Amino acid sequence: MSQSITEDIPIPSLSNADFLKQLGAYFETSQGNSPFHITHKRLVPKSSSTKDDLSSNVVVHPLQFPQNTDTYLVLVRAKIGADKKLSTAVAPEDLTEFWAKYSKMLKASIARNKR
């Protein structure tokens, strides 16, 4: 059903192409009759760290934090109507191509469904 890159990050089962295909099919058939919500966020593993019992004025804070050079997947979710949900995770190297196809599809559907 769902894969995971690490134990902490479950990956949605839809590929980027399948996500765009299903979302495009929805836009073709809906004609603006049902609402949809789209969200994007960085997909990060759950933190295994725990809060210390010490207050912030007692904990030693470093003067400079190390630079984060990690790359993260982007989780894209679409909720269509009340019951249909789609999601995909886009790798950083695929973002440019994904956003180009995604924005082209959204612009076309907005123009088509404009009242």
Asked if 23 and 86 count as a contact pair (C-beta separation under 8 A), the reply is yes
* Structural element, H or E, at residue 88: strand 84-90
How many structural domains comprise the chain? 1
Q: How many CA atoms lie within 13 A of 30 on its CB side?
A: 19
Residue pLDDT, tens place only, 45-56: 776 555 556 666
* Structural element, H or E, at residue 42: strand 36-43
Q: Which domain holds residue 24?
A: 10-42+72-115
Specify which residues 89 forms β-bridges with: 75
**Residue 82, in any domain of the structure:** yes
**Residue 104, in any domain of the structure:** yes
3-state secondary structure of 65: coil
Q: Give the pLDDT confidence score for residue 53 in this predicted structure.
A: 63
75 has pLDDT over 80: yes
Global model pTM greater than 0.85: no
**Residue 54, in any domain of the structure:** no
Average pLDDT of the residues of the chain: 79
